[in-house]
Amino acid sequence: MAYVTSHIVLAAVAFVLPLASTLGAKSYNDNWNAYGCDIDADTLLDTAQKMVDFGFRDLGYNYVILDDCWSEPERSDNGSLVANSTKFPDGMKAVADKIHSMGLLFGMYSSAGLYTCAQYPASLDHEEQDARTLADWGVDYLKYDNCYNQGQEGTSQLTFDRYNTMSLALNRTERPIFYSMCNWGKDYPWNWAQTMANSWRISGDVYDSFDRPDDRCPCTTYDCPLPGFHCSVMNIIEKVAPIVDKGQPGGWNDLDMLEVGNGGMSDDEYKVHFSMWAMVKSPLIIGTSIPKMTAATYAILANPAVIAISQDSAGTPAVRVWKRNADVDEYDQGSQSLWVMALSGGDYAVALLNAGNSSMQLNATLEEIFIDKATTAGGSTRGPLPSSSSWDIYDLWANRMDDIMANSILQGNVTVDGSIIDASNSTTLYNATEMAYADGVKMNHTALLGVKTSSVPPLGTISAMVPRHGIAMYRLRKQEGTLMKKRDEL
C-alpha cells in the first residue's frame, strides 16, 4: 500500500485536501468539477491560500489536488512527464513547495492508461519513471484514473495487476503518497484494493443532481459493467449501500468528489450529499470553487459536527438498516431510509434520509437502530442490548453557521486561522490542527456534538420531520444508569 492512513481524506476541487490525521477517510479539494482544464499555478495557489484563510485547513482539509490537463502534450526526450510551461512556468516542485509552506499537502493526477481522460500523456508502462517524478516534485497524493487502458480490464486480476504496478512503484520511492484509484468500480475493486490502495472509486462520475436518472449512468447497483458518468447523488448512495463494509482504516470506498456549491441542487439536497458521504466514510473532496464559494456552501462544507462523524477513529462506515418506498418526484424517484454508524467511545450516528417528494415524519426505534447488536452472534447473552438504555439525541445540523458569520469569513472581515476567532468555545467553529476530533469529542466540544434536542427512553422511538430531499442527522450518546430493568427485577 502506498500510504497507510486510517482517516478519511478531506480536500477541495481542482485541489484535494485530505485530513492530515490518521482517522477515517480524508478531506480534500479537487479542481475538476469547478475548473476542468482551465487551471494554472495562480489559481491553484490562490485556492490553497483561501483554504487556509477560510479555516478549511484547520478543519482537516489538508490536500490540494490538481486534476487533469496539467502537463505538456508530449513527454520530454528522456521520457519524463513535463508540466505545462504556460500554466506552471516555475514547474511543479515550486508549486508543491509553496503548498507545503502553507501547511497543506499536494496531490496530482495521472491515469493507468496510454492517455489521461483529457488525452495527455498517462502512466501505463511508465509507472516507475512517473512515480519517481511525482516523488521528486514533492507530491503527496495521486489520483490514478482509468482512461485509455488498452483493454486491460474485464477481470479483477487484470485490473489489480495494472493498478498494483503503480502502487509498487510509489512504494519504491519511499515517499508517503496517498494512492487514490479512480477505476470507476470496474472489476469490483472493493474486493481486492485494500492491500494496495488508500481509496477506490465505486461508480461512474457524479454530477450535480440529487436523483435525476441519466442514460449515461445506466447502472443502479454496484454490479455494473458500464459505470458511465452523470451519476446522481442518490444513484451512488444506492450503489454503495451493499458494500459499505468494504471500507476500512487505510482503504476507503470513494463515492467521487462533492458537488456541494455548484448550483444544481437545493440546500437540503446538498446537506444530504455532504452528510451521506461523511456517514459512509467516503473521502470528502470539495469540488467547487473555493474563492467564489457562497455563505450557504461554506456553512455546509465547514460543519465540524458532520466532519467529526467522517473522521471518527472507529473507522466504521454507516449501514443502511431499512429502505422504504415514499412518494415519487418528477423523475419517478422516491424512498426513505435509516442509516446507523457505531462511533468510538460508545456513541452512534443516525441519519434519517427522506428522498421522497414531500416533507414527512420519519421514525426509527432503538430496536431498529441497534439491530446489529441484537442479531450478532451471542446477542443479548453478551449483556444488555443498547436498546434497553436511554439515549441523549444531538442534532448535528442545529449549530450550522449562519450566513452573516459565513460571509464575514469569506469576505475576509474575520479570519479563522487562529489569529482572530477563538474556536475553542465556539458552537460553529473547530480547529482540528490544535485538537484532534477524537479529543474534542471526548471533551464534549459543542461544535462537534451538536445541539442536544431530546432524549429517547429504553425501547423508545426517534422521530423527525424531514424535508423533501432532506436529512436528519444525529449523534446518540448513552445516558449512564438508565438501563431498563428486567421483568423479574420489577
Cβ distance 130 to 81 under 8 Å?
Answer: yes
The closest alpha carbon to 324, from 363, 266, 350, belongs to: 363
Cβ distance 244 to 253 under 8 Å?
Answer: yes
Q: Which residue has the cell 441497534?
A: 370
Q: DSSP letters along 380-413, please?
A: GGGS--GGGS-EEEEESSTTPPPHHHHHHHHTTS
Residue 245 annotated among the catalytic residues of the structure: no
489 contacts: CB under 8 Å, gap ≥ 6? none
Residue 145 annotated among the catalytic residues of the structure: yes
Q: DSSP letters along 283-315, please?
A: -EEE-S-STT--HHHHHHHT-HHHHHHHT-TT-
488 contacts: CB under 8 Å, gap ≥ 6? none
Which CA distances in Å does 358 have to 94, 334, 446?
52, 9, 31
Work out the number of other CB atoms within 10 angstroms of the CB of residue 220: 13
The closest alpha carbon to 198, from 431, 48, 61, 19, belongs to: 19
User: Which of 30, 40, 130, 145 is labelled catalytic?
Assistant: 145
Alpha helices, DSSP H only, in 68-196?
92-101, 127-137, 156-172
Distance of CA 260 to the CA centre of its chain: 12
Bridge-based pairing state of the strands 199-201 and 252-254: parallel
Q: What is the CA radius of gyration of the chain?
A: 22
Whole-angstrom Cα distance, residue 420 to residue 408?
12
Bridge-based pairing state of the strands 105-111 and 63-65: parallel
The closest alpha carbon to 449, from 345, 354, 370, belongs to: 345
Cβ distance 222 to 243 under 8 Å?
Answer: yes
Whole-angstrom Cα distance, residue 148 to residue 122?
9
Q: What is the DSSP letter of 165?
A: H
User: Which of 30, 205, 211, 256 is labelled catalytic?
Assistant: 205
Whole-angstrom Cα distance, residue 476 to residue 464?
14
Q: Assign 339 to helix, strand or coil.
A: strand
5 contacts: CB under 8 Å, gap ≥ 6? 18, 22, 26, 178, 198, 249, 250
**CA dihedral of 209, 360, 399, 254, whole degrees rounded to 10:** -40
Give the catalytic positions in this structure.
Answer: 145, 205
